[in-house]
Structure formats: C-alpha cells, structure tokens
C-alpha cells in the first residue's frame, strides 16, 4: 500500500494530472535491460534474445522487457551481455552524455547501473572512477563492472569529502545519483514504501546538500555536474538544486532536451527556485513506460583550476613480469593486455594510460584486474576473461546457451573436455564467461566460487 501522506503530497503537486498518476502507481513496475555494445550489437541481440524486446526511446541500448521475463537467469547475463535496469534510469547517463576520452566520476555508483552505462558510452576511452561509500555495496559494484568487461575504470570505496581532497577539480563530469527517499521505486520495492516518511525526505535532502557540495569541488571549470534521484519529492529534486545554486554561482543549469514522455522540472514547487530548473527532466510513470526519476545537468562556468593528483606510477617487479609473459605466451594470442601493468599486493592490474595516482584512497580495483601471483606462477583473473574476446585466447570452448554443459560450468562443476592441456577461455556461445584449466580429459572449473549458482 502507498503511504497516504505521500499520496496527499502528490495530489497537491500534480493537480489535474493526479488521477492518471495514482492509476499508474497501481500497475506493475516496468522492467528493462541495457545491452552491452562492447559485447554485442543491440540489433543482433534483439534478433537472438529469447524474450520479446521493445526499444526504450531515450536509450539506443535500452529495451523494455515483459514483466514475466527472467533474464537474470540466462547464461548471457553471466557473460555481461546486458545489465538489468528499469527504463527511466537509462535517461541519466544519456543526459551526462560522456564524450570519448573524458574523465568521469560516478560518486554514488553501486550497484553500477549508471557506471556500466557510462562505460558503454565512453567506449573504452578516457577513464571512469566508480565510487561507493558502503563497503558491501562497493563489492557488488565491482562484480557488476567486472561482468561488463570494463577496462578503463577504477573502483573506490570512499567518502565524497576524501575524494574531493584527493582529486580537486579533476573531472570533466561528475555524476551524483543521490541516495534519496525512493518514491519513484514504490512500484518495485516494498522496502521503499515502508521506509518512507516526510522526515526521510528531509533527511535525504540535507544529505544530498552535503554530497553535492563535495561533488562540485571535483568538476573542472567548463565541466558538468549531473544530479539525479529516483524520487518525486521536490525538496530532494528542484529544492536540492535551488539550495546548491544559491551558494554556487559558478554553476548554471544546462537545459536537457525534452524527449517524448519527459516532463520539465518544477521550480514553482519550491520557494525561491530559479526558473532555469525547468530545464531539468522529470520522468513520471503516468507519462511514459518507466519508474519515477529526476535528472539535471549543471555546468561549471568558471572557477579556479586546482592542483591535480599526479599520474599513477605503475610498478611491476621483473620477476612478476616474467611469470606474466610466460602465462600470456601459453594462454593468449599476442599481447591483448593494454595499459601499464601494476602490482598491488598479489594482484596484477592493467592501468589505462594517464590514470591518476590513487594512493591514500580506499581502492578495490585501481584498473582492470588481470591476474594474481601464486608462488611462481600466474592465476588469470575472472575480470580478464570477461574483458577478452574469444580470438584473444589460444584455447576456447564454446558452450551453447541452451546446453546442460554451460549450466554445469556456472554451478562450478568440472567438464569432460579432451584436448591440449592449459588455460581455456570458456564461452557461452561466442561470449567469454570465465576460465577453466584443462589437463587429461577434464576441464577444471575456475569460475569464481562466489558467483557459482544454479542458473535455471
């Protein structure tokens, strides 16, 4: 049941539109998926997918799913071919519109919906720092970016103020997909409905003020600050931005294109809000096929340049270099690992060129996790398997999506597989899923233990 006080507030906000809104709130939540263009072209995916898919008009990679589809249980999901995301949430990275080569910070990134989308739009260029304050959620973020096969991202587990002190005005774009009262998720989440109260709205608004203040410090002059929530509460949308703009005259609102179904921001719902906030977008469930969302893009018009963090100084001891070269020669064609290799503890990472130094920050992964050093040998990382193409590997096995063998692999079982001994890149159809190591007539399973589960 929807909180009665919430409905009263919506009636006051929406006036004549309220009956359509109230009706939409009674129907099912919209489900969607976003295709990973680094792995498969959207049209190819549509023609092969086992579910009927309808395009999301505001996202070239986005598709509506029927409510009874179970795409999280398909082996293609484990191969990172798509991310499950409701359609309105896809408007955020589209509004941020990453340009090739940009440096982007996703400040509140877990579980990774916007980060995977930003990575897709960057197309492997530039860099993405995906940050999440809560350690457990940061691990989920890392898992999702790993599955996506991202090669140009670092994952941090930091507070906004510590990041701002480290980076200064470093980024071309900073996204604050803020923690909010979640009214736009009421159709999807019983918890969101139960946790809601006017006091939550107020508490979220003041937390958003604090996060935005730190986010602003990290936007380079001329750069963008993107703010989004999944709530309808004006206190957390136009209100948060009005309070921010009052104290940050160096930022202006960049009007967003009002695509079909989008609605403008509602500055009149907040006292003293500038009319420029009409340039934000509101996504309402009674106006389009999606949940509730709010998106705004601000530009930092001027402001001081600040000292930036120095570039990272990758370090790979000779001995580890030798192990890695030996492993590469025995498992891969050529040298598909790009970037500078760096040893952090026992893990080897590929850092994209020009990556900043992250010393002093809590970092889960400073780049693409390539391998782990074990005694005198190399164990390839799962993240590497998902970032490779089948043609990069010397030995591959292609298990059809409908086969029992692929399900057995995802459950962690060994597979009968005669052939040459060595590391094998296991693929579902033509998409890498993980590693196996063949000896005798068996393929020993190296799919990570934490990911193993029955898939159907």
Ligand X SMILES: C[S@@+](CC[C@H](N)C(=O)[O-])C[C@H]1O[C@@H](n2cnc3c(N)ncnc32)[C@H](O)[C@@H]1O
Q: How far is the CB of 362 from ligand X (least distance, A)?
A: 13
Options 204, 230, 280, 427, the catalytic residue: 230
- Residues with Cβ within 8 Å of 43's Cβ and at least 6 positions away in sequence, in order, are none
Q: How far is the CB of 211 from ligand X (least distance, A)?
A: 5
Interface residues with ligand X (CB under 6 A) are 108-114, 132-134, 137, 160, 177, 179, 207, 211
Which residue, judged by CB position, is nearest to ligand X in the bound state?
113
Closer to ligand X by CB, 132 or 235: give it: 132
Q: How far is the CB of 228 from ligand X (least distance, A)?
A: 8
The span from the CA of 204 to the CA of 227, in Å, is 14
362: exposed, middle or buried (Cβ count in 10 Å: 0-12, 13-18, 19+): middle
The span from the CA of 326 to the CA of 248, in Å, is 55
Asked if residues 61 and 93 have their Cβ atoms less than 8 Å apart, the reply is no
∠ Cα 167 171 176 (to 5°): 95
Closer to ligand X by CB, 134 or 441: give it: 134
Q: How far is the CB of 329 from ligand X (least distance, A)?
A: 39
Instruction: List the one residue out of 341, 456, 350, 369 whose CA is nearest residue 408.
Output: 456
Asked if residues 395 and 355 have their Cβ atoms less than 8 Å apart, the reply is no
Q: How far is the CB of 33 from ligand X (least distance, A)?
A: 14
Residue with tokens 């020669």: 329
Closer to ligand X by CB, 158 or 392: give it: 158
Q: How far is the CB of 133 from ligand X (least distance, A)?
A: 4
Asked if residues 356 and 309 have their Cβ atoms less than 8 Å apart, the reply is yes
Instruction: List the one residue out of 440, 419, 425 whose CA is nearest residue 332.
Output: 425
Q: How far is the CB of 35 from ligand X (least distance, A)?
A: 16
Closer to ligand X by CB, 133 or 324: give it: 133
- Report the C-alpha dihedral over residues 126, 131, 136, 139, rounded to 10 degrees: 10
Residue 230 annotated as catalytic? yes
Closer to ligand X by CB, 167 or 349: give it: 167
Closer to ligand X by CB, 83 or 355: give it: 83
Closer to ligand X by CB, 42 or 179: give it: 179
Q: How far is the CB of 48 from ligand X (least distance, A)?
A: 26
450: exposed, middle or buried (Cβ count in 10 Å: 0-12, 13-18, 19+): exposed
Instruction: List the one residue out of 151, 107, 100 whose CA is nearest residue 126.
Output: 100
Q: How far is the CB of 78 from ligand X (least distance, A)?
A: 19
Contacts 24+ apart (CB under 8 A), 342-345: 342/312, 342/314, 342/315, 342/316, 342/366, 342/367, 343/315, 343/316, 343/317, 343/373
The per-residue b/e assignment along 432-445, b for 16 or more CB within 10 angstroms, e otherwise, is: bbbbbbbeeeebeb
Closer to ligand X by CB, 118 or 428: give it: 118
Closer to ligand X by CB, 108 or 383: give it: 108
Asked if residues 332 and 370 have their Cβ atoms less than 8 Å apart, the reply is no
What are the residue numbers of the active site?
230
């Amino acid at each position: 049941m929807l909180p009665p006080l919430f409905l009263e507030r919506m009636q006051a906000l929406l006036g004549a539109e309220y009956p359509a809104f109230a009706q939409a709130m009674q129907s099912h939540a919209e489900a969607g998926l976003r295709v990973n263009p680094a792995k498969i072209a959207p049209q190819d995916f549509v023609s092969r997918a086992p579910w009927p898919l309808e395009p999301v008009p505001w996202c070239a990679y986005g598709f509506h799913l029927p409510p009874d589809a179970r795409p999280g249980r398909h082996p293609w999901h484990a191969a990172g071919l798509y991310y499950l995301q409701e359609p309105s949430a896809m408007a955020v990275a589209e509004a941020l519109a990453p340009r090739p080569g940009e440096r982007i910070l996703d400040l509140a990134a877990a579980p990774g919906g916007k980060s995977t989308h930003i990575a897709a739009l960057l197309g492997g260029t530039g860099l993405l720092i995906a940050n999440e304050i809560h350690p457990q959620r940061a691990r989920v973020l890392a898992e999702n970016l790993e599955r996506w096969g991202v090669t140009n991202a670092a994952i941090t587990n930091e507070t906004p103020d510590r990041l701002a002190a480290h980076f200064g005005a470093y980024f071309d774009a900073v996204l604050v997909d803020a923690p909010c009262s979640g009214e736009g998720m009421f159709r999807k989440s019983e918890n969101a409905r139960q946790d809601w109260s006017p006091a939550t709205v107020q508490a979220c608004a003041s937390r958003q003020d604090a996060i935005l203040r730190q986010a602003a410090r990290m936007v380079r002059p001329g750069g963008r600050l993107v703010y989004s929530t999944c709530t309808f509460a004006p206190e957390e949308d136009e209100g948060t931005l009005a309070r921010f703009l009052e104290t940050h005259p160096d930022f202006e609102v960049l009007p967003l294109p009002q695509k079909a179904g989008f609605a403008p921001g509602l500055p009149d719902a907040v006292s003293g809000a500038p009319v420029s906030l009409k340039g934000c977008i509101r996504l309402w469930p009674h106006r389009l096929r999606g949940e509730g969302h709010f998106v705004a893009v601000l530009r930092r018009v001027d402001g001081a340049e600040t000292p930036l963090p120095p570039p990272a100084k990758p370090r790979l001891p000779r001995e580890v270099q030798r192990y890695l070269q030996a492993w590469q020669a025995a498992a891969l064609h050529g040298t598909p690992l790009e970037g500078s290799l760096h040893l952090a503890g026992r893990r080897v990472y590929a850092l994209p060129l020009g990556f900043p130094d992250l010393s002093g920050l809590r970092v889960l992964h400073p780049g693409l996790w390539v391998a782990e050093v074990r005694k005198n040998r190399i164990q390839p990382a799962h993240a590497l398997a998902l970032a490779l193409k089948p043609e990069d590997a010397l030995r591959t096995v292609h298990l059809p999506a409908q086969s029992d063998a692929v399900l057995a692999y995802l459950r962690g079982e060994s597979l009968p597989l005669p052939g040459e001994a060595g590391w094998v890149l296991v693929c579902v159809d033509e998409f890498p899923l993980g590693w196996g190591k063949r000896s005798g007539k068996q393929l020993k399973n190296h799919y990570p233990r934490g990911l193993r589960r029955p898939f159907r």
